[in-house]
């Protein structure tokens, strides 16, 4: 899609033009008419001009002599210091000079007009120009005060380079639902014959970066119709009523260009639930929402005007916005599965040069839980790494490193750990890996490193599932908690002390243990009682307790008991393989980074004699 818009110049450009005009006026034009020109010369120059008969009039005062040259069109005025010269009067008479009062050159009426009126006119013109520019930028597409309320929607038109469904990977279900809208815009007759009415609106919901905006543009690209794109925040104005006016103008333009698609991004900005008490509400936002509801009821869907909207927070939207007849269809745009991630990687990899060793399936498995935007970033990071390495193409190692960059940050090459800290981190990471490997139903270890990252991690252990994992059993969750506890258990077992390095592990294992009891019903005491609710599902999933204080205290006790049990399990597993713990930690200390194959090879080897 190609956006139609005019380039904007910064305000400093107009200030610069104004200053340049004033400089030219004052430096070139005004001096010819305004400036008083009395040039002081030495007495010798004065005598020379007398001898050459270039002085037309002179005036003698106590200390100075003022004289004028004989240029009648534009005479020049001079002054010189008077000396005691008895022959001066004779010389003046001989040269034909007249005696009289020499006045300074005065500004003419025309010069006064230039110096005052013209400069004021220039300032007024620049002020008017800047005020119009400022008003236009404050009010979207407003050119003057009478254009308040005009929609600032960006209008795209169909073009050969438009986005198509083939440019969107990993969201097959969403594309299937939206394909029906495209078919209706192309062939409305077959739907009208049977009496079917196209949904007036479709709401795209999902986490950030999953491609909601891209899908909306792909619908317009496939349908080859005009595409109006506007953010919900652009309706919010500081003047009451302006947001509602923008909504009216947007739908007016859409009806004029039907069939077309109107896309409202981040609709939760104006579509939040209205206050029931009538106190502390935002009148402007509510008026805008009411106008949007009215317009969606008022327009004729059979004309081919389709409303698409996207949000990360569907639970905050007003119920009136979601009822049938407005946003009839809700299209989930979730995080891609394994096949989706692989397809997304292939789509973005078309833009870069690849080596022969690329395994997209392995990269997709390692990047579990990432969004389409993050996968695109991984491909770009891999290309940047290849350039830094002086290679002409991207290798498998570049893509694998890019996963770690997106997840854990860049390597901190300037941070040097002391020998003691490096040894502690080695045992900590091997503790995680060893506990994971010694348990059943645990994801295989693929990489262990003790190189610090910009995210703050001093090292990490990477586990990659061999297949897509959608459900987790109670035993698998307990194994993950024990794996998280493996780092702290190794520190205490070997050094008899603990460090701050397990802070993130403790946070993750506590969150998982609490979810087992409060949300997953995996405790005998509470059974299948829901004690916690998840808020903002697509924006981090914050939770809130929904139980009595006594129950919450009992939950804390159960969580603590579960964590202690799994910690003791990790200690026991490491105690049984203590010799391998020493051997693997020593190897990691020397290599700093080892692969899962190296780890398993050493683990399966016969123990060294100590």
Instruction: Strand 460-463: give its sheet, edge to edge.
Output: 460-463, 445-449, 593-595
Q: How far apart are the first and last CA of the chain?
A: 69
Helix 578-591 crosses helix 549-576 at what angle (to 10 degrees)? 90
pLDDT for the residue numbered 543? 78
Per-residue pLDDT tens for 379-431? 999 999 999 989 999 999 899 888 888 777 777 766 677 889 899 999 999 99
CATH fold, domain 37-99, is 3.30.720
Contacts by residues 160-163 (CB-CB < 8 Å, ≥ 24 positions apart) = 161/1, 161/2, 162/1, 162/2, 162/217, 162/220, 162/221, 162/224, 163/1, 163/214, 163/217, 163/218, 163/220, 163/221
Residue 197's contacts (CB-CB under 8 Å, 6 or more residues apart) are: 191, 301, 302
CATH fold, domain 338-408, is Helicase, Ruva Protein; domain 3 (1.10.8)
Q: Domain ranges for the chain, please list them.
A: 2-30+109-138, 37-99, 154-274+282-332, 338-408, 419-604
**How, if at all, do strands 445-449 and 260-265 pair?**
unpaired
Active site (annotated) includes residue 429: yes
Q: CA nearest 304: which of 365, 207, 358, 225?
A: 225
The pair phi, psi for residue 231, each rounded to 5°, is: -90, 150
pLDDT for the residue numbered 92? 78
3-state helix, strand, coil in the chain (%, to 5): 50, 15, 35
Contact 593, 448 (CB under 8 A): yes
How many DSSP H helices and E strands does the chain contain?
21, 17
CATH superfamily of 419-604: Peptidase M41 (1.20.58.760)
Residue 308 is given by DSSP the state E
pLDDT for the residue numbered 142? 40
pLDDT for the residue numbered 380? 92
Q: 429, 478, 491, 583: which is the annotated catalytic residue?
A: 429
pLDDT for the residue numbered 146? 41
pLDDT for the residue numbered 118? 67
Q: Is the pTM of this model over 0.85?
A: no
List the Cα angle 358/442/488 in 5-degree steps. Answer: 105
Report the alpha-carbon distance of residue 312 to residue 212 in Å, rounded.
Answer: 10
How many alpha carbons fall within 13 Å on the CB side of residue 163? 20
Burial track 136-155 (b if 16+ CB lie within 10 A, e otherwise):
eeebbebeeeeebbbbebbb
Report the alpha-carbon distance of residue 247 to residue 257 in Å, rounded.
Answer: 16
Per-residue pLDDT tens for 3-40? 444 445 665 666 677 667 766 666 655 555 444 457 77
The parts of the chain modelled with pLDDT lower than 50 are 1-7, 33-36, 105-107, 138-148, 159-161, 279, 609-610
**Residue 204 corresponds to which tokens in the numbers above?**
């795209």
CATH superfamily of 154-274+282-332: P-loop containing nucleotide triphosphate hydrolases (3.40.50.300)
Q: CA nearest 529: which of 509, 554, 553, 547?
A: 547
pLDDT for the residue numbered 568? 95
Same fold, 154-274+282-332 and 338-408: no
pLDDT for the residue numbered 20? 72
């Amino acid at each position: 899609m190609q956006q139609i818009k005019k380039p904007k110049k910064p305000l400093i450009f107009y200030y610069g033009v104004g200053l340049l005009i004033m400089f030219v006026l004052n430096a070139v034009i005004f001096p010819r008419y305004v400036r008083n020109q009395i040039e002081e010369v030495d007495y010798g120059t004065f005598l020379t001009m007398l001898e050459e008969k270039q002085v037309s009039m002179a005036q003698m005062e106590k200390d100075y002599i003022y004289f004028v040259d004989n240029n009648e069109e534009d005479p020049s005025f001079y002054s010189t210091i008077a000396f005691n010269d008895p022959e001066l009067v004779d010389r003046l008479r001989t040269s034909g000079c007249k005696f009289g009062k020499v006045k300074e050159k005065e500004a003419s009426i025309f010069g006064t007009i230039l110096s005052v009126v013209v400069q004021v006119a220039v300032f007024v013109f620049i002020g008017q120009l800047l005020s119009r520019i400022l008003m236009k930028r404050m009010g979207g597409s407003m050119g003057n005060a009478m254009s308040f309320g005009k929609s600032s929607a960006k209008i795209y038109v169909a073009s050969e380079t438009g986005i198509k469904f083939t440019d969107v990977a990993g969201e097959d279900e969403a594309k299937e639902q939206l394909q029906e809208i495209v078919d209706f815009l192309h062939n409305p007759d077959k739907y009208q014959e049977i009496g079917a009415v196209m949904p007036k609106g479709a709401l795209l919901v999902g986490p950030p970066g999953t491609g909601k905006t891209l899908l909306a543009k792909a619908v317009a690209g496939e349908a080859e119709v005009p595409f109006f794109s506007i953010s919900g925040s652009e309706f919010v104005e500081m003047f009451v009523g302006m947001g509602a006016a923008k909504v009216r103008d947007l739908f007016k333009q859409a009806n004029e260009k039907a069939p077309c698609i109107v896309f409202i991004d981040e609709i939760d900005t104006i579509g939040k639930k209205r206050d029931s008490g009538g106190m502390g509400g935002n009148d402007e936002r509510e008026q805008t929402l009411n106008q949007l509801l009215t317009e969606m009821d008022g327009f004729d869907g059979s004309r081919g005007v389709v409303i698409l909207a996207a949000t990360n927070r569907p639970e905050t939207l007003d119920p009136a916005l979601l009822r049938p007849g407005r946003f009839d269809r809700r299209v989930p745009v979730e995080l891609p599965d394994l096949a989706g991630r692989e397809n997304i990687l292939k789509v973005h990899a078309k833009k870069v040069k690849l080596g022969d060793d690329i395994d997209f399936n392995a990269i997709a498995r390692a990047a579990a839980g990432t969004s389409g935007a993050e996968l695109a970033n991984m491909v770009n990071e891999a290309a940047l790494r290849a350039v830094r390495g002086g290679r002409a193409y991207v290798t498998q190692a570049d893509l694998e490193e890019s996963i770690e960059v997106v997840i854990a940050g860049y390597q901190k090459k300037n941070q040097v750990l002391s020998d003691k800290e490096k040894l502690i981190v080695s045992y900590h990471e091997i503790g995680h890996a060893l506990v994971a490997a010694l348990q059943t139903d645990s994801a295989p270890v693929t990489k262990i490193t003790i190189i610090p990252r910009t995210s703050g991690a001093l090292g990490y252990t990477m586990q990659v599932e061999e297949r897509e994992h959608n459900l987790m059993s109670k035993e698998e969750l307990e194994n993950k908690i024990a794996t998280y506890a493996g780092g702290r258990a190794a520190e205490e077992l070997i050094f008899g002390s603990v460090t701050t390095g397990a802070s993130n592990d403790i946070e993750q294992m506590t969150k998982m243990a609490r979810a087992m009891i409060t949300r997953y019903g995996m405790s005998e005491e509470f059974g299948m009682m829901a004690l916690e609710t998840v808020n903002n599902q697509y924006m981090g999933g914050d939770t809130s307790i929904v139980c009595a204080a006594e129950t919450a205290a009992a939950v804390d006790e159960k969580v603590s008991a579960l964590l202690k049990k799994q910690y003791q399990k990790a200690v026991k597993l490491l105690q049984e393989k203590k010799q391998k713990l020493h051997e693997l930690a020593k190897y990691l200390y020397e290599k700093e980074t080892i692969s899962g194959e190296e780890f398993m090879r050493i683990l399966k080897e016969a123990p060294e004699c100590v």
